[in-house]
Amino acid sequence: MSNEEQVIDETRCWVEQMVIRHNFCPFAHKPARNQTIRYAVSQASNEDGLMEALISELILLRDADHAVIETTILIVPNCLQQFEDYNQFLDLVDVLIEQFALRGIIQVASFHPDYQFADLDKDDVRNYTNRSPYPMFHLILEESIERARATYPGVEEIPENNMKLLQALGLEEVKRQLARCRKSSNS
């Protein structure tokens, strides 16, 4: 198995075993079931290379047949390892969205192995709503979000419900579940 295949397998496991299993994002079920999630790996080791990959993926998603590719997860195993660097890079992502006239068309959700909400301690289990095996950018079509919101009651309660679930599971169990995805592709 190539490194890229391993990264995708671990990310797919995280999506299935953490995001979907725990219903962190109720909107993820449909594209996972329909196999319309594109998993892309950027081997970039610097921000310039990552910007090129991000531009390519944004344009690809914008122009795709959305019955085939409804959402994209761009995985970045060799860049932005420090959460602070990743978090600062998100400002550049916003600039790209503006430059390519994608505001209102595509939004980006952020995930990182060391994700930390500003008001939480680093080791707070609630950070795991956005902790992933690798730094990644989830490119989401706004129209997909709007369709999902129209049919899902209590959208505003999703983040709070996720954090309560994580607190109930406990930090050690959540770490164990995430580690299983890393081990699953190494066997």
> For the chain, what is the mean pLDDT?
93
Query: What is the per-residue pLDDT for 52?
Result: 97
The phi, psi pair for 119, rounded to 5°, reads: -95, 10
Query: What is the per-residue pLDDT for 186?
Result: 54
What's the structural domain count of the chain?
1
Query: What is the per-residue pLDDT for 185?
Result: 55
Distances (CA, A) of 175 to 73, 178, 183: 22, 5, 12
Residues of the chain with pLDDT under 70: 1, 183-187
* Boundaries of domain holding 19: 3-184
- Give the contacts of 144 (CB within 8 A, at least 6 positions apart): 27, 31, 66, 70, 71
Residue 130: name the closest of 40, 22, 47 by CA. Answer: 22
- Helical segments of 112-170, H only: 142-151, 158-169
Query: What is the per-residue pLDDT for 183?
Result: 67
Tell me how far apart the terminal alpha carbons of the chain are, to the nearest angstrom: 11
